[in-house]
């Protein structure tokens, strides 16, 4: 999906919600566990309940890898359920030397046909370049993440590493094939981020279960094209642990979309 199509979908749906499909088999309602593929059945119900309220889905690849070969098949089936007009993100956080990155890019852009993949830029440009060579695909680079350990390296010092990541990597691609992960738990950083990458989209985890401040991140992070994909996972997936889990997931997604509609110009 190209940039103009993504922006069009945001304006059409009046939403910039990304639903994270971080499906934990241990948290799937009991009535689904007797099925042949409980994770798939859970994902199917959540997608059907939320697809009118979001513009992106983001499966966390770790939850599928942990199930072995069956997990990869579940991921493939889940991806096939997502409508073509919804942006898809492989939350894989890959980052390796060029030959390995080329194969990772083929995995997520050809074998699975995701629109985007999350990447760690620590090994530099040659580890990211193979992902940028796919037309219509996106590299989403970790810049300032929402976890407490981000302070160890990313935001430490007078010249924080995340700012260096933004300044250097923004020259590798452009705002039509590169995004950045910036956590909602650090709303004070969005002003600084926008000084470096005013036009890029930002993938924003940390709203919902992690308690990120939606209004503060919008005040500093929105740009003329919206420029945000705000991710919510647990707060939507596990809005209920009963047979009404999909209904409650849909209600939660709809509530977030209504909040977002008021911030879209």
Q: What is the mean pLDDT of residues 10-27?
A: 97
Listed in sequence order, the DSSP H helices in 82-174 are 98-106, 125-132, 150-153, 161-169
In our burial notation (b when 16+ CB lie closer than 10 A, e otherwise), range 183-193 reads bbbbbebbebb
pLDDT digits (tens, 9 = 90+) for 191-211: 999 999 999 999 999 776 556
Cite the active site residues.
93
Percent of the chain past pLDDT 70, that is, above it, reads 97
Report yes or no on whether pTM surpasses 0.85. yes
Q: In the structure encoding, which two tokens stand for residue 37, read together?
A: 């593929």
pLDDT digits (tens, 9 = 90+) for 217-243: 899 999 999 999 999 999 999 999 999
Q: Please tell me the distance from the alpha carbon of residue 144 to that of residue 61, in angstroms, as a whole number.
A: 20
DSSP string, 111-131: IS--SEEEE--TT-HHHHHHH
CATH number assigned to the domain covering 3-259? 3.20.20.70
Q: What is the mean pLDDT of residues 171-188?
A: 91
What's the chain's average pLDDT? 93
Instruction: Look at residue 166 and tell me whether its pLDDT is greater than 80.
Output: yes
Q: Which residues pair with 88 in a beta bridge?
A: 57
Instruction: Look at residue 148 and tell me whether its pLDDT is greater than 70.
Output: yes
How far, rounded to the nearest angstrom, does the alpha carbon of residue 4 sit from its chain's CA centroid?
18
Positive or negative torsion for Cα 231, 232, 233, 237: negative
Q: Please tell me the distance from the alpha carbon of residue 44 to that of residue 72, in angstroms, as a whole number.
A: 16
pLDDT band of 145, cuts 50, 70, 90: confident
pLDDT digits (tens, 9 = 90+) for 21-67: 999 999 999 999 989 999 999 999 999 999 999 999 999 999 999 99
pLDDT at 212: 66
Instruction: Look at residue 187 and tell me whether its pLDDT is greater than 60.
Output: yes
pLDDT at 90: 98
């Amino acid at each position: 999906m190209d940039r103009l199509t993504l922006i069009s979908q945001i304006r059409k749906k009046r939403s910039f919600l990304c639903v994270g499909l971080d499906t934990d088999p241990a948290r799937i309602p009991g009535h689904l566990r007797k099925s042949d593929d409980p994770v798939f059945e859970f994902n199917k119900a959540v997608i059907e309940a939320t697809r009118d309220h979001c513009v992106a889905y983001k499966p966390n690849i770790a939850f599928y890898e942990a199930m072995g070969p069956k997990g990869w098949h579940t991921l493939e089936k889940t991806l096939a359920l997502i409508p073509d007009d919804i942006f898809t993100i492989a939350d894989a956080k890959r980052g390796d030397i060029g030959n390995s990155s080329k194969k990772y890019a083929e995995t997520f852009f050809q074998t699975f046909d995701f629109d985007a993949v999350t990447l760690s830029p620590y090994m530099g440009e040659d580890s990211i370049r193979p992902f940028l060579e796919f037309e219509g695909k996106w590299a989403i680079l970790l810049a300032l993440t929402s976890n407490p350990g981000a302070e160890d390296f990313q935001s430490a010092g007078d010249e924080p590493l995340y700012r260096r990541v933004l300044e250097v990597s923004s020259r590798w691609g452009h705002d039509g094939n590169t995004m950045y992960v910036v956590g909602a738990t650090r709303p004070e950083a969005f002003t600084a981020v926008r000084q470096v990458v005013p036009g890029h989209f930002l993938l924003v985890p940390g709203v919902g279960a992690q308690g990120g401040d939606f209004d503060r991140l919008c005040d500093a992070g929105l740009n003329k094209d919206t420029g945000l994909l705000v991710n919510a996972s647990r707060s939507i997936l596990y809005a209920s642990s009963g047979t009404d889990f999909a209904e409650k997931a849909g209600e939660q997604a709809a509530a977030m979309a209504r909040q977002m509609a008021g911030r879209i110009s």
